[in-house]
Amino acid sequence: MPKRSFAMAKNKMHTSAHRHYEDDNEWGCGSWLEYTLVVVLSSVLLLGSLGLTLFWVIQYRGGFAWREDPKRQFNLHPVLMVAGFITFSGFSVLLYRICRCCRRIYVKLLHTVFHALAIPCVALGFLSVLDSHNLAQPPIPNFYSLHSWIGLVTMGLFAIQFVVGFFSFLILLCCEGATAGFRAALVPIHASFGLTTFVLAIAASVTGLTEKALFTLGDAYPEWREEGIVINALGISFIALAILVSFAVRSNNLKSDFKVTVVERM
Amino acid sequence: MPKRSFAMAKNKMHTSAHRHYEDDNEWGCGSWLEYTLVVVLSSVLLLGSLGLTLFWVIQYRGGFAWREDPKRQFNLHPVLMVAGFITFSGFSVLLYRICRCCRRIYVKLLHTVFHALAIPCVALGFLSVLDSHNLAQPPIPNFYSLHSWIGLVTMGLFAIQFVVGFFSFLILLCCEGATAGFRAALVPIHASFGLTTFVLAIAASVTGLTEKALFTLGDAYPEWREEGIVINALGISFIALAILVSFAVRSNNLKSDFKVTVVERM
């Protein structure tokens, strides 16, 4: 009965194509609640912290400028670094937990795109702080503080992760079979160093906020002015993000089904 | 043959008592290398960062005093907080990875003892900063900075973890059978929040170091003086500890055998 066997084959293909959805259905109510809570909270914090940084520099620090006004050029630094290292990178990391129904190759491409978007942010953010230091009268020295040391380590790790990730998980797909073992072994290392980079970025942010609060508010910082509270709230939201993103990445409940991961690992 | 069955039973007991060693023998060369590297590096960093903090305050900040000299009383704050939140807590967390051959109950008791030792350190460290602020002329306000906010959250989490851990994993042992399920469910939560507390303590440390560097070195901080470099090196060693301890706690290679954990879980 060729007609029946064709129908069976079609049905099998259909089942295979929708395996993700079926796996999803195996999730209990608790897992869905955890998923929704983590996705909503982390999205709110990732976008909210960028929004709060923008509000802070526009409302209290006079907004943005380029080289004609080095003091206001500095304001690009926190906004662009938060956008690149926290908002884009955070979403990029969380994609592996948020996108449960897409094919893994699309998630990987989106992961690359988000990280690629972070690169110009980080580069411009770095340039803006260098310019604002070097063009100031008198010039402000670079790379002497703990914040700058942590920031440099973070940028180095980010660059290594991007290059290694791009070549290993996308370029090496050209010889898929031969590199499968190598790529599979690299996944947990890439994930660990990715989370490390994110947490380092948070450490750089809280030290940077502390520096900025003392430099600009100085003796007014203990007076509980609005700007001081905004800066502290920003720091606390970064800390909450470090906890939440680490939790999301490590949670077994939020992991995609292992079999699907193995079948579709690129 | 009662003699033979007695010998068998004895042999079985012997096997059971030495199960850990046999499981250890299953470790490959790579696991042992990883174990040695993590234990040696983290011990060096945990003791080294406390030593460097002591060196810093004695060499550059005039050593210690009590209420008769609030400025030097402050110096107790970094040393005691690092001792309590980082050195004692760090070793306490790592015990579960370091002690592979002891019975689990001994590891738990040692874990409790190390955390109990951290309590007077943290309490005195907290008192010393409050005193040094309140007794200064004019008094310095409290709890306005990001560092103090992160520090308060860390102390709160530490206290909750200690109380919940003490009651759940030691006191509830009195009715071992009835509470086994509850205690087993609590283990990963306690472990996650424990690591979170440790990383929060590191975040508090790096913001505190940044504050202190700007308050005391001020315009001399960019001049690459010895004290500035010591402060930055201290911050970087804390960051390295955060990475290393997180790695050690999460590494599957360093975990005790799962069956042993389940059998001996208290």
Per-residue pLDDT tens over the stretch A62-93? 999 999 999 999 999 999 999 999 999 999 99
Amino acid identity of residue B259, one-letter, is K
CA B228 to chain CA centroid, nearest Å: 26
**Residue B93 CB burial class (10 angstroms; 0-12, 13-18, ≥19):** buried
Q: B239, A206: Cβ pair inside 8 Å?
A: no
Chain A from 129 to 188: CB within 8 A of any B CB? 140-141, 144-147, 149-150, 153
Residue B77, number of CB atoms within 10 A of its CB: 23
Q: How far apart are CA B98 and CA B248, in angstroms?
A: 10
The reported pLDDT for the residue numbered A155 is 98
**Which positions in chain B touch A247 (Cβ < 8 Å)?**
192
Q: What is the pLDDT of residue B210?
A: 98
CA–CA separation, A113 and A119 (whole Å):
10
**Number of A–B residue contacts, CB under 8 Å:** 104
Q: Judge contact between B244 and B49, C-beta under 8 A.
A: no
Judge whether residue B252 has pLDDT over 80: no
The pLDDT value recorded for residue A169 is 85
The chain A residue lying nearest B230, using CA atoms, is: A146
Is the pLDDT reported for residue B117 higher than 50? yes
Q: What is the DSSP string of chain B?
A: -HHHHHHHHHHHHHHHHTHHHHHHHT--HHHHHHHHHHHHHHHHHHHHHHHHHHHHHHHHS-----TT-HHHHTTHHHHHHIIIIIIIHHHHHHHHHH-SSS-HHHHHHHHHHHHHHHHHHHHHHHHHHHHHHHTSSSPPP-S-SHHHHHHHHHHHHHHHHHHHHHHHHTGGGGGHHHHHHHHHHHHHHHHHHHHHHHHHHHHHHHHHHHHHIIIIIGGGGGGT-HHHHHHHHHHHHHHHHHHHHHHHHH-STTSPPHHHHHHH--
The predicted-structure confidence for A128-172, as pLDDT tens digits, reads as follows 999 999 999 999 999 999 999 999 999 999 999 999 999 988 888
Q: Which residues of A touch B150 (CB under 8 A)?
A: 206, 235-236, 239
**Does residue A258 surpass a pLDDT of 50?**
no
- In this predicted structure, the answer to whether residue B49 has a pLDDT above a threshold of 60 is yes
Q: Kindly give, in sequence order, each residue whose CB lies less than 8 Å from that of residue B155, ignoring residues fewer than 6 positions away.
A: B122, B126
Express as a percent the part of chain A with pLDDT over 70. Answer: 86
Question: What does the alpha-carbon distance between residue B215 and residue B209 come to, in Å, rounded to a whole number?
Answer: 10
Compute CA A205 distance to the chain's CA centroid, rounded to the nearest angstrom.
13
Is residue B217 within 8 angstroms of chain A, CB to CB?
A: no
Residues of A in contact with B228 (CB under 8 A): 144
Give the pLDDT of residue B100.
75
pLDDT at B257 > cutoff 50: no
**Burial code of A65-99, b = ≥16 C-beta within 10 A, e = fewer?**
beeeebebbbbbbbbbbbbbbbbbbbbbbbbbbbb
Tens digit of pLDDT for each residue in A172-197? 878 877 888 888 899 989 999 999 99
What average pLDDT does range B50-70 have in this prediction? 96
Instruction: Report CB contact under 8 Å: B232, A140.
Output: no
Supply the DSSP string of chain A, one letter for each residue: -HHHHHHHHHHHHHHHHTHHHHHHHT--HHHHHHHHHHHHHHHHHHHHHHHHHHHHHHHHS-----TT-HHHHTTHHHHHHIIIIIIIHHHHHHHHHH--SS-HHHHHHHHHHHHHHHHHHHHHHHHHHHHHHHTSSSPPP-S-SHHHHHHHHHHHHHHHHHHHHHHHHTGGGGGHHHHHHHHHHHHHHHHHHHHHHHHHHHHHHHHHHHHHIIIIIGGGGGGT-HHHHHHHHHHHHHHHHHHHHHHHHH-STTSPPHHHHHHH--
Rounded to 5°, the CA angle A100-A252-A258 comes to 60
Q: B1 falls in which pLDDT band (50, 70, 90)?
A: very low
Closest to A81 (Cα-Cα) out of A121, A129, A47, A127: A121
Look at residue A18 and tell me whether its pLDDT is greater than 80. Answer: no
B165 vs B187: CA distance, rounded Å:
9
Query: Are A170 and A112 a contacting pair, CB within 8 Å?
Result: yes
Average pLDDT, chain B: 87
Rounded to two decimals, the ipTM of the complex is: 0.86
Contacts with B153 from chain A: Cβ below 8 Å: 236, 239
- CA gyration radius for chain A? 22
Residue A99: pLDDT band by 50, 70, 90 thresholds?
confident
pLDDT on residue B256? 56
Question: Is A60 a residue whose pLDDT tops 50?
Answer: yes
Q: Is A228 an 8 Å CB contact of chain B?
A: yes
pLDDT at A32: 85
Q: What percent of chain B has pLDDT over 70?
A: 86
Backbone angles phi, psi at A118, to 5 degrees: -70, -30
Q: What is the mean pLDDT of residues B249-257?
A: 71
> Do residue B221 and residue A153 have CB atoms under 8 angstroms apart?
no
Q: What pLDDT score does A26 carry?
A: 66
Q: Write down the mean pLDDT value for chain A.
A: 87
Cβ A239–B209 below 8 Å, yes or no?
Answer: no
Sort A102 into a burial class: Cβ within 10 Å, 0-12 / 13-18 / 19+. middle
Convert the pLDDT of each residue in A204-217 to its tens digit: 999 999 999 999 99
Give the mean pLDDT of B133-147: 96
Greatest extent of chain A over all pairs of C-alpha atoms, in Å: 88
pLDDT score recorded for residue B29 = 80
pLDDT for the residue numbered B151: 98
pLDDT in tens, B99-109: 877 888 899 99
Position A30 scores a pLDDT of 78
